[in-house]
Amino acid sequence: MSTGRSATRMGPAELVQAAAMARRFYLEGKSKIQIAEEFGVSRFKVARVLETALERDLVRIEIRVPAELDAERSDALRARYGLRHAVVVESPADAEADTPDPENLGEVAADLLGELVTEGDVLGLAWGRSTIHMAAALHRLPPCTVVQLTGVYDAGTAERGSVEAVRRAAAVSGGEAHPIYAPMLLPDTATADALRGQTGIARAFEYFDKVTVACVSIGSWEAGISTVYDMLTEKERAHYENLGAAAEMSAHLFDAEGRRIGRDLGERCITVEADRLRRIPEVVAIAGGRRKAEAIGAVLRSGLVTSLVTDTAAADYLLAETTPAAHPALDRADPDGV
């Protein structure tokens, strides 16, 4: 059934979606209208995707995607959590069982951003080791503005962290960079308010409402896995643990059900507000590993994330969960407009 290969490279979300649609059409016998209803797109887009699947040699007798992508888990995770895109990467064979965020997630996320970002978009990057790995792996990005969404973990390491990630992404895209030269967590609200009023930081904040694609990391509430946890005192950690803290994303805390807790902490942080994150059309989380799986589930239930790049270790846990999840992608306009 192959008609030859196209020279244009497909991104990971395109590959996963094309594989899922082709499976429905060629193996399950579903119509294009039925597939369009399931994926929330037009039947014309389904037709284009199926045609592309043939052109790119995805469809022969079986559905094929690169070996490192698990198409079946990706499709199952997308459907279960109501995500716009879910890309599941094979966990490295030599990785420890409890290793969070395998580095190959950053490479796949870089390809995904190259696919999702279009010319003229505003790309927001939050602090996180996985987003820093993603930025380092970027090799293509349409012209866009890049803005930092959070302060840095340690202002003294800004050149090797989120500031450099923003600069790297802007250099690849050829667009403007708007970094934030400030710590993520401040000792009190007054200091945080004063910093937000500084010219450079205020200019970055002005772009928050214009962000069209955001890239965030997720941390579980434990030492070495959550930036915020590591920055707090023992007394403060105990306080938020008593409130049920299970996950952290961009300095926002969530309990196991995805409810936001500890809102007072946000007042001391230089970060994009949760309400603004919810208005961003595409919020891509990069997080993996069994050690982070429960935290990933909590953040998915918050409804703030529309897409996820993860690994098979986390995906297996998430697919076995019984707690219903929010369906964030269904509540936001499709950035493709179809």
Each residue's pLDDT tens digit, 74-111 = 999 999 999 999 999 988 765 555 667 777 898 999 99
What pLDDT sits at residue 80?
93
CB 308 within 8 A of CB 77: yes
What pLDDT sits at residue 26?
85
Which residues are registered as beta bridge partners of 310?
88
Q: How far apart are CA 276 and CA 205, in angstroms?
A: 11
Average pLDDT, the chain: 86
Domains of the chain: 12-56 (1.10.10), 69-331 (3.40.50.1360)
What pLDDT sits at residue 149?
95
CB 181 within 8 A of CB 155: yes
Which of 147-156, 199-208, 233-242 shows the lowest mean pLDDT across its residues?
A: 147-156
Q: How far apart are CA 264 and CA 159, in angstroms?
A: 29
What share of the chain has pLDDT > 90, as a percent? 58
Mean pLDDT value across residues 241-252: 92
Q: Where are the beta strands (DSSP E) in the chain?
A: 85-89, 122-125, 145-148, 177-178, 213-217, 219-220, 247-249, 252-254, 260-261, 282-286, 307-311
What pLDDT sits at residue 333?
57
What pLDDT sits at residue 321?
81
Mean pLDDT value across residues 285-296: 93
Q: What is the pLDDT of residues 164-214, one digit of tens each?
A: 999 999 999 999 999 999 888 998 999 999 999 999 899 999 999 999 999
What pLDDT sits at residue 337?
44
Residue holding tokens 């989120």? 162
